Structure 1
């Protein structure tokens, strides 16, 4: 079964991801389903400048979070009259993505924004771009060679794990639970971002004297999330806490939990989808919190790419150049604060 079919089987309503600020500290308008990205705040950097072409490559948008990445990138590029946005066909095939990036290099775009399917495997083509004089803004999944990119922008994967671990640790300690059974459902286990999330989770749990009992990856898909959760529920007759690293695959995870009739544990999600937030808001779900990983990092990447291509720095910083690395913070959404996050979402 394809992921799209799986999503139709399990998902009620669209996924919603959170918004974040970009290169200015001016307040941003809340997005809606038709306009997910806030308009650029008024600043000298937002005034029309030298015309630049921004090449863009990302995986196929068959996942709610990835779909939001593509939408945010395109919408932000359209806000600037001095930007020509040149996306290539999104793909989950490594070789096809390499070929697509090579086509952008051959087209001599001014700057590239790349979210690689796998940073290790696309590292060489990013190096080719850099060596050709085309700066690369590396989005989310990082290239291992720093010479392959000019600037990296992404979420705090380690921080996601830390936030989830602290929430679970605090909840279990407050309940007086000792030697808890804690299960973790990862995304794609081979990706450094997944490994960082797991490491942060484990490190935070250590502060409470806890550790992960069982860990399994679910490939960021609804179908596999359902299969993995079913397997873990069958293997552990009693669970105290579960961390699911991705709210999109969490649709399948929650379906499995409901099918099994299990409610003895607390669950934390990851990313901040509307589906997850509504579960949290209901107060009747095992899902008690989710930790954010905002896809509006794509909006920031486009803004940064434009500035780099035009030889500008960020207006709120003293330095004259865009920083080499920008990490977004991960926030914890619970029933107590979910109301303020709901309006920041957009349908994917």
Structure 2
């Protein structure tokens, strides 16, 4: 049964349902695109998940393109390693492909691994890559604290690490970091929920406490809805995975069939919750994610989905900035400790501005 639901979801052939939040609904709020200062995304993660950052909620103008200098000036072929928490997540697939294209365009090599959300496997894979005489390593940890042994190995080997999307617990291991303003990504969808459900109600939160990016998103979401009449009836770890989220949501919706909203820490989690809600015949619930993936945007554009919004980010911008940082390090240039990339709300009101056939 679950396999059929997943297949149906991934082919976008699910039965749509109503998106009202009871009788008390307000018009959706949307962030108008505007130019933002040179990428403004990971500032919240740099500040930690405890405090709210002063981040922009608007998207960078689609008419403005940022130029990234990814030139290899060393005069020799370079070899880099790449590790992310889940190589099957479309967000990371996009980052991986973009990095690979940029690096190979220089005649350099990117060694790619996928630990499948297993930190022990990630540590082992990093150790194996380090044995291949890497010049640099792109790091996205499964577990911000649990990855420490691999960071120690890289430090001992003298291999510089550029973090992306998710921070490690001790940022001193990294020469630099680039990623989304994850706190703001959760905050903007929380604000959208408050606007659409001003009377509040019971909600479900599907997070992932070992993933710092999801922790920050969840904190932003919870801060945004605080004091607005919402009651969290369940909060569980969906591990950022569609199938995991679907199974959890199936059980939770049986226990709490009248929830007005579900927050997922990323878009795969939201899509898993959507599959469960559709299978259960739920017609009065708003589901939010974070990513801005093509699948989520297609749901928003359909006009008949329970998906209500997503805190959008740009994996292409993150990949390009990470590669630029790495080449600056290779070329002996100075780099900043953090390069943030903006996040913003996409909902049914503005999804047409971003399209559904790719990432923004």
Scaled by the length of structure 2, the TM-score of the pair is 0.76
| Distance in 2 between residues matched to 1:300 and 1:142, nearest whole Å | 15
**2:178 aligned counterpart, secondary structure:** strand
1:55 is displaced (CA, Å) by 2.3
| Distance in 1 between residues matched to 2:343 and 2:125, nearest whole Å | 32
Q: Which residue of the partner structure matches residue 109 of structure 2?
A: 85
Equivalent runs, 1:304-319 vs 2, <5 Å: 304-312=325-333
**1:112 aligned counterpart, secondary structure:** strand
Q: Which residue of the partner structure matches residue 183 of structure 2?
A: 158
Sort the Cα spacing of 1:98 and 1:146 in 2 relative to 1 into closer, same or farther, 3 A: same
Q: Which residue of the partner structure matches residue 326 of structure 1?
A: 339
Sort the Cα spacing of 1:29 and 1:91 in 2 relative to 1 into closer, same or farther, 3 A: farther
The question of whether the paired residues in 2 share the 8 Å contact of 1:110 and 1:134 is answered with: yes
Unaligned runs of 5+ in 1: 15-20, 31-37, 313-320
Sort the Cα spacing of 1:301 and 1:47 in 2 relative to 1 into closer, same or farther, 3 A: closer
**1:100 aligned counterpart, secondary structure:** helix
1:109 is displaced (CA, Å) by 2.4
Equivalent runs, 1:101-120 vs 2, <5 Å: 101-120=126-145
Is 1:57 equivalent to 2:83 in the alignment? yes
1:46 is displaced (CA, Å) by 4.8
Between 264-273 and 161-170, report the one with greater CA deviation.
264-273
Equivalent runs, 1:181-260 vs 2, <5 Å: 181-186=202-207, 188-206=208-226, 208-260=228-280
Is 1:99 equivalent to 2:98 in the alignment? no
Number of aligned pairs?
A: 316
Q: Which residue of the partner structure matches residue 299 of structure 1?
A: 320
Between 60-69 and 322-331, report the one with greater CA deviation.
60-69
Is 1:281 equivalent to 2:301 in the alignment? yes
| Distance in 1 between residues matched to 2:220 and 2:82, nearest whole Å | 30
1:69 is displaced (CA, Å) by 2.6
Q: Which residue of the partner structure matches residue 11 of structure 2?
A: 12
The question of whether the paired residues in 1 share the 8 Å contact of 2:82 and 2:110 is answered with: yes
Is 1:128 equivalent to 2:128 in the alignment? no
| Distance in 1 between residues matched to 2:2 and 2:280, nearest whole Å | 23
Structure 1 residue ranges (4+ consecutive) displaced by more than 6 angstroms after TM superposition: 26-30
| Distance in 2 between residues matched to 1:292 and 1:302, nearest whole Å | 21
Q: Over residues 284-329 of structure 1, what are the superposed CA-to-partner deviations in whole Å (9 max), with x where a residue is unaligned? A: 12212111133222332122111111122xxxxxxxx221012222
Q: Which residue of the partner structure matches residue 148 of structure 1?
A: 173
The question of whether the paired residues in 2 share the 8 Å contact of 1:158 and 1:199 is answered with: yes
1:163 is displaced (CA, Å) by 1.2
1:171 pairs, out of 184, 196, 205, with 196
**2:232 aligned counterpart, secondary structure:** coil
Sort the Cα spacing of 1:154 and 1:201 in 2 relative to 1 into closer, same or farther, 3 A: same
The question of whether the paired residues in 2 share the 8 Å contact of 1:54 and 1:110 is answered with: yes
Scaled by the length of structure 1, the TM-score of the pair is 0.78
Q: Over residues 244-275 of structure 1, what are the superposed CA-to-partner deviations in whole Å (9 max), with x where a residue is unaligned? A: 22222333221221122212122222211222
1:162 is displaced (CA, Å) by 0.9
Q: Over residues 59-115 of structure 1, what are the superposed CA-to-partner deviations in whole Å (9 max), with x where a residue is unaligned? A: 45223223223222212212334xx12314322343443233233333332221122
Equivalent runs, 1:24-39 vs 2, <5 Å: none
Unaligned runs of 5+ in 2: 14-35, 40-59
**2:282 aligned counterpart, secondary structure:** coil
1:336 is displaced (CA, Å) by 1.9
Q: Which residue of the partner structure matches residue 35 of structure 1?
A: none
The question of whether the paired residues in 1 share the 8 Å contact of 2:269 and 2:289 is answered with: no
1:240 is displaced (CA, Å) by 1.9
Q: Which residue of the partner structure matches residue 25 of structure 2?
A: none
